[in-house]
Amino acid sequence: MEHKLEIRQMFDEAFKRQVIEEYLSTGCTKMELLRKYNIHFKSAIQTWMKKLGYSDPYELKPRRFASINTLSLASIPNDKDADLTNLQKRIKELEKQLLDEQLRSEAYLRMIQKAEQELKVSIRKKTNTR
């Protein structure tokens, strides 16, 4: 029976922040950076981001959708063309709102990062505080 010896890698906070900043600013994938810096822990960057208060703008978050009541489907009017047009308009409105919020979120993230770099002060809430 062969046993694999696990070697725990230790990195200082400055290095972790450097890797995270590179991930956020260059568009490199997490896996590319793990290989580049020979980091063995696959979710290291994700874990460091949570511990150091970074948010991942590229992370897809699962959404919960309300269930559709089948009885309500029976009451939908047959005017499909008008409904389809209204739904398409609503989708465009929601897509625009989503894009606006994504841009706003990215702007806030960049402002916080810039302020933290220039002022040398941590602005984000620490994950382990109460």
Q: Is the dihedral of CA 48, 49, 50, 51 positive or negative?
A: positive
Instruction: Decide if pLDDT at 114 tops 70.
Output: yes
Does the residue 2 lie in any domain? Answer: no
- CATH of residue 52's domain is 1.10.10
Full DSSP string of 46-93: HHHHHHHT---TTPPPP---PPPPHHHHHT--S-HHHHHHHHHHHHHH
Q: Are 120 and 85 members of one domain?
A: yes
- Minimal CA–CA distance to 35: which of 48, 24, 44, 26? 44
The model's pLDDT over 88-112, given as tens digits with 9 standing for 90+, comes to 888 988 988 888 888 888 888 888 8
Does the residue 29 lie in any domain? Answer: yes
Look up the domain containing 84 and give its range.
Answer: 79-124
Q: What is the pTM (predicted TM-score) of this model?
A: 0.44
Does the residue 42 lie in any domain? Answer: yes
Q: Could you count the other beta carbons within 10 Å of the beta carbon of residue 127?
A: 10
The model's pLDDT over 1-54, given as tens digits with 9 standing for 90+, comes to 555 666 778 899 999 999 999 998 888 889 999 999 999 988 999 999 999 988
Total domain count for the chain? Answer: 2
Going by the DSSP 8-state scheme, the letter that residue 113 receives in this structure is H
Q: In the predicted model, what is the mean pLDDT of residues 117-126?
A: 80
